[in-house]
């Protein structure tokens, strides 16, 4: 039955999000655990008289690991690509190079069959586009951005010269987006972030998911220097330490969730899109406008955020006030 119910979501991904045209070559990258979703999308590609190319790879060892070279080459050669994987390949040279070559792509990381039917996928992406682009424009190039929450987040950084990224689940040539999160984000200038991050929503990686208690991180000169809290904080610290890569502590991104249909469920692209949340991405920033490639990219999500950019309030207690 789910195979039938997923058809509507698959059609939306293909026709609304990627805008696939007849005759186009559409690469669908997946792994065995997501094959049913990938096949539903491939069928939707075929329905619009385009050519689906399905490539199944061994799951990556970690989020942010590059896909195999033949898949990276196929991404560059495609008219469009759709990534349906458990471990993220979003923040990789493969995605960056494919977009630079003129392909367009969307990523459905950690998707489940239920996510293809209900939740963020049901949002009106066209309606969300205007607000998302306005928030991204307000973040872009700001000399000083200040993020706070009632739980104790208090972080300053500069985004001078950096682009704002509006990800609203629809792409044109040379663009990529996540689905179903609708978010506006910016990559801080390396070395400028200072303060405290208190994640109280979710860290949807390495089995952490929805947080039982806050995870507190101290940031100095663009890098996380300590991680405090309970069991889930210890999981995050142990995983980052195991990477043996100092760049995993880089403050790479601040994103603001703008999808009214998303809800916390412990999965990355659903949690990040929850309306009024903020997330701090750590590690790799090369796909967002930064310069750092790390062994991973994780997001620390907090609820009911307040954000100001150069003194102008963008988000107040989880509500857009532009």
Please report which residue ranges of 54-117 form alpha helices under DSSP H: 69-77, 93-100
Which are the contacts of 69, defined by CB distance < 8 A and separation ≥ 6? none
CB burial string 110-147: b at 16+ within 10 A, e below? bbbeebbbebbbebebeebbebbeebbebbbbbeebbb
Structure confidence by residue, pLDDT tens digits, 283-302: 999 999 999 999 999 999 99
The pLDDT value recorded for residue 196 is 98
**Residue 126: helix, strand or coil by DSSP?**
helix
Query: Is the distance from CB of 166 to CB of 133 less than 8 angstroms?
Result: yes
Q: Which strand (E) or helix (H) includes residue 47? A: helix 35-47
Structural domains of the chain ordered from first start: 2-118 (3.40.1830.10), 124-320 (no CATH)
Nearest 5°: the CA angle 294, 309, 298 is: 25
Record the tokens describing residue 316, joined without a space: 């107040």
Nearest 5°: the CA angle 95, 35, 6 is: 100
Q: How far is CA 275 from CA 88, 132, 257, in A?
A: 22, 11, 5
**Residue 97: helix, strand or coil by DSSP?**
helix
The pLDDT value recorded for residue 62 is 87
How many of the other CB atoms lie within 10 Å of CB of 2? 14
- Interatomic CA distance for residues 130 and 100, integer angstroms: 25
The pLDDT value recorded for residue 99 is 96
The pLDDT value recorded for residue 293 is 96
Structure confidence by residue, pLDDT tens digits, 32-67: 999 999 999 999 999 999 999 999 999 999 888 999
Parallel/antiparallel/unpaired status of strands 80-84 and 25-30: parallel
Along the chain (322 residues), what's the average pLDDT of each consecutive run of 10 residues? 93 98 98 97 98 97 93 98 95 95 96 96 96 98 98 98 97 95 98 98 96 98 98 98 98 98 94 98 96 96 98 97 88
- For residue 224, give the nearest of 193, 202, 255 by alpha carbon: 193
Omega into 180 within 30° of 0, i.e. cis? Answer: yes
Angle, in degrees to the nearest 10, between helices 35-47 and 2-11: 50
């Amino acid at each position: 039955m789910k195979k039938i119910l997923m058809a509507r979501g698959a059609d939306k991904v293909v026709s609304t999000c990627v805008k696939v045209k007849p005759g186009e070559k559409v690469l669908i990258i997946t792994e065995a655990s997501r094959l049913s979703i990938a096949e539903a999308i491939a069928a939707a590609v075929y329905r619009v008289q385009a050519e689906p190319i399905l490539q199944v790879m061994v799951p990556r060892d970690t989020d942010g690991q590059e896909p195999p070279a033949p898949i990276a080459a196929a991404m560059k050669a495609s008219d469009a690509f759709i990534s349906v994987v458990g471990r993220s390949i979003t923040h990789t040279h493969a995605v960056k190079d494919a977009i630079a070559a003129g392909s367009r792509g969307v990523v459905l990381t950690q998707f489940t069959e239920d996510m293809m039917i209900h939740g963020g996928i049901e949002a009106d992406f066209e309606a969300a586009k205007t607000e998302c682009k306005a928030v991204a424009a307000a973040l872009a190039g700001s000399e000083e951005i200040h993020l706070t929450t009632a739980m104790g987040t208090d972080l300053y950084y500069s985004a001078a010269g950096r682009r704002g990224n509006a990800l609203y689940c629809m792409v044109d040539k040379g663009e990529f987006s996540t689905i179903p999160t609708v978010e506006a984000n910016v990559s801080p200038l390396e070395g400028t972030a200072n303060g405290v991050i208190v994640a109280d929503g979710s860290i949807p990686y390495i089995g952490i998911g929805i947080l039982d208690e806050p995870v507190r991180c101290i940031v100095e000169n663009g890098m996380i220097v300590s991680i405090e809290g309970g069991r889930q904080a210890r999981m995050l610290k142990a995983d980052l330490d195991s990477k043996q890569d100092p760049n995993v502590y880089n403050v790479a991104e601040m994103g603001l969730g703008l999808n009214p249909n998303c809800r916390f469920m412990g999965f990355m692209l659903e949690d990040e899109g929850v309306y009024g949340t903020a997330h701090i991405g750590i590690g790799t920033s090369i796909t967002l406008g930064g310069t750092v490639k790390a062994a991973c990219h994780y997001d620390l999500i907090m609820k009911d955020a307040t954000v100001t950019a150069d003194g102008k309030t963008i988000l107040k207690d989880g509500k857009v006030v532009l």
